[in-house]
Amino acid sequence: MTVASSSPPSHLPPRDVEETAPKRRSVGKRERDGGGSGDGALAALFIGPALLGFLVFLFWPTLRGIYLSFTRFNLLTPAEWVGLDNYRRMVKDPIFWDSLKVTVEYVFINIGVQTVSALAIAVLLQRLTQSAVLRGVVLTPYLMSNVVAGIVWLWMLDTQLGIGNEIIAGLGFDRIPFLADETWAIPTIALINVWRHVGYTALLLFAGLQAIPNDMYEAAKVDGASEWRMFWRITMPLLRPVLAVVLIMTVIGSFQVFDTVAVTTNGGPANATNVLQFYIYGSAFGRFQFGYASAMSVALLVVLSAITILQYRLTRAGRTDLG
């Protein structure tokens, strides 16, 4: 393999006919916009399938989704342009605002509990035990679908037969109708999804913790610092950029909650769990108002884009070692 690296490209076998352009030796230097047509034909072959999929199933649907939000469209007759009608209706629609409120409440509880728990788990995995088995255990709920998680907890939290309420009743308290009560339903669904996702989030944070040199903790220990103090003085400041990225990711995921609601409460009781995505789905497939559903999707897109932009503003200073 020790061939002189100065051998000219003409030594290459004729199979590489794509290499028509004179081969640049400026390895590693970035030229403008990909550096000419060095591997044109070959690149087309390599990028082709992915680019096709991107244009047909991501780029075009995004534009179309925005277009549909300005139309009246029931799927059977062609879409009819109605300008801002859908948006006017949305602003006046009390159910829309209510579902936005419900979604925000869900996101707050879900993200609040999940972030604190994931951080605690990640720190335990870092400072208390290095067990790889435990890391695997933490990830197991992530292997379930939201549908499975929803159904299992629906059973465990059943008012009459669920083990959760058996324990509560055994302790002498009143049974709680977790998923059938307007006040309890959203927090319960938020916690079910924490159960499913917290392990994955914890592992992402754990990856960030791995980047913190152990010497720092050792040195602090010699100085007599407690674990609690080390957490606030070493772990938190150094993990902040990673935490910010993970937080944004989970917030964006959290806003799109749908599956768990669909299999546990179906939006009820009395619209108490009618999260935005559920309302959008009902508008499109229950009432065939695809235009209105698209307008609400655009609203959600705007909210999520705002969150992403905010994140870039906040974390531009600190480059992360993730991603």
Q: Among residues 83, 94, 172, 224, which is the contact residue for another protein, using CB under 8 A?
A: 224
Determine the size of the site formed for another protein (CB under 8 A). Answer: 123
For the CB of residue 42, give the shortest distance to another protein in the complex, in Å. Answer: 6
Measured CA to CA, the distance from residue 209 to residue 203 in angstroms comes to 10
Q: Among residues 116, 139, 306, 310, which is the contact residue for another protein, using CB under 8 A?
A: 139
For the CB of residue 147, give the shortest distance to another protein in the complex, in Å. Answer: 5
CA distances to 49, 75, 218, 259 from 263, in Å: 36, 26, 49, 6
> Which two three-digit tokens encode residue 165?
């309420």
Q: Among residues 12, 84, 91, 95, which is the contact residue for another protein, using CB under 8 A?
A: 12
In the block, tokens 């690296």 appear at 5
Stretch in the footprint of another protein (CB under 8 A) among 80-88, 108-116, 231-239, 243-251 = 243-251
Q: Which residues in 248-307 contact another protein (CB under 8 A)?
A: 249, 252-253, 255-256, 258-259, 262-263, 277, 280-281, 284-285, 290, 293-294, 297, 300-301, 304-305
Q: Among residues 16, 80, 181, 182, which is the contact residue for another protein, using CB under 8 A?
A: 16
Q: Which residues in 22-81 contact another protein (CB under 8 A)?
A: 24, 27-28, 31-40, 42-47, 49-54, 56-62, 64-65, 68, 75
> Which two three-digit tokens encode residue 3?
């061939």
> Which two three-digit tokens encode residue 228?
């609690």
For the CB of residue 84, give the shortest distance to another protein in the complex, in Å. Answer: 19
For the CB of residue 146, give the shortest distance to another protein in the complex, in Å. Answer: 6
Residue 121 in contact with another protein, rule: CB under 8 A: yes
Residue 116 in contact with another protein, rule: CB under 8 A: no
Residue 5 in contact with another protein, rule: CB under 8 A: yes
Q: Among residues 245, 251, 272, 275, which is the contact residue for another protein, using CB under 8 A?
A: 245
Residue with smaller CB distance to another protein, 108 or 200:
200
Residue 216 in contact with another protein, rule: CB under 8 A: no
CA torsion sign for 66, 71, 73, 78 is negative
Residue 85 in contact with another protein, rule: CB under 8 A: no
Measured CA to CA, the distance from residue 200 to residue 302 in angstroms comes to 27
The residue among 84, 102, 82 whose CA lies nearest residue 94 is 102
Q: Among residues 163, 236, 306, 310, which is the contact residue for another protein, using CB under 8 A?
A: 163
Residue 237 in contact with another protein, rule: CB under 8 A: no
